[in-house]
Structure 1
Amino acid sequence: MNNPGKILVVEDRPEIRLLVAMAVKPFGHTLIEADSGKAGLAAIHLHRPDLILLDVMMPGEINGFGICRIVKQDPELRDTPVVMMTALAQASDIEEGMAAGADDYIVKPFSLVALRSIIGRLLGRSGEEAGRP
């Protein structure tokens, strides 16, 4: 892969963060982890990731939809792709995520192949992630 990206995963469950790590590290991406909305916002401003993977339901004052809105309303961040990564699978949940500005929405449980495909597409590496371990 020619240009690995910096990917931030904002997820309170360590096993999901581990799954994301398994999906992205073989491709040289740098993974930054945050376990709450507050920590996620701090990491966004500190690291300026190339892609943000957001859980919706997290402890604390702000959820993934709120973080997505903040990112997409900030002129310096709004072009950063955001993927909602959640167990909320109702059409209304997906609509809320997309209305918040999400670039994609993946429902848990998800496969590594599906996640890699989304990451590859959003980072401009069409299909590279999907076909590898």
Structure 2
Amino acid sequence: MKRGKILLAEDEAALRFLLTETLEEEGYEIKEAEDGQQALHCLQSEAFDLVILDYMMPERTGVDVCEWLRGNPNPNSQAPVILLTAKALEKDRERAKAAGVTQYIVKPFSPLQLVDTIEEMIRRGTHGSAGL
């Protein structure tokens, strides 16, 4: 049984592979994007239960993608968004919150911690800013 469909936008191939493997083992269906532009294309054409965006990606940042997601008609405007980032400064966190990010996770992180966060967010089914 599939537990949900997730868009994973991460430009680092090794991390994208690790997260995809981990989440698929947990029963999630994963669609991968290698940069912000691919992520936007996926968000315009498919519905997802949750979106995971890397902050620093080529083409468009995760924050740019989230701003578009929240501000334009699309099937994912209410989907929870997790932002993965190496940027731990408060100003970066505030920028993410203003863009509509639901959860902010600083790298490095445990993939299993991410799974727990995803399960909780999908269960709640909301894009409220729980982790900011």
TM-score range, shorter chain: 0.7 to 0.9
Rounded to whole Å, the distance in 1 between the matches of 2:117 and 2:7 is 14
C-alpha RMSD over aligned residues = 1.5
- Aligned partner of 1:74 in structure 2 is 72
Offset from partner CA, 1:72-125 (integer Å, 9 cap, x none): 113443211111011111111111111110010101111022101110111107
- The alignment status of 1:99 with 2:98, answered yes or no, reads yes
Matched residue SS, 2:39: helix
* DSSP 3-state at the match of 2:123: coil
Other-structure match for 1:130:
none
Query: Are residue 14 (structure 1) and residue 39 (structure 2) matched?
Result: no
1:18 partner letter:
F
Cα shift readout 1:55-82 (whole Å, capped 9, x = no counterpart): 011112x211110011111344321111
Overall identity of the aligned pairs, in %? 35
Q: What amino acid sits opposite 2:94 in the alignment?
A: E
Gaps of 5+ in 2: 125-132
Do the aligned residues in 2 keep the contact of 1:23 with 1:115 (CA within 8 Å)?
no
Alignment of 1:17-36 (within 5 A): 17-36=16-35
C-alpha contact 1:7 1:32 (8 A) present in aligned 2: yes
- Written as runs of structure 1 = structure 2, the 5 A alignment for 1:52-67 is 52-60=51-59, 62-67=60-65
Tell me, which stretches of 5 or more residues in structure 1 are unaligned?
126-133
How far apart are the structure 1 equivalents of 2:10 and 2:26?
21
| Contact 2:10–2:57 under 8 Å retained in 1 | yes
Alpha-carbon separation, structure 2, partners of 1:94 and 1:115: 18
Amino acid at match of 1:119: I
TM-score (norm 1): 0.85
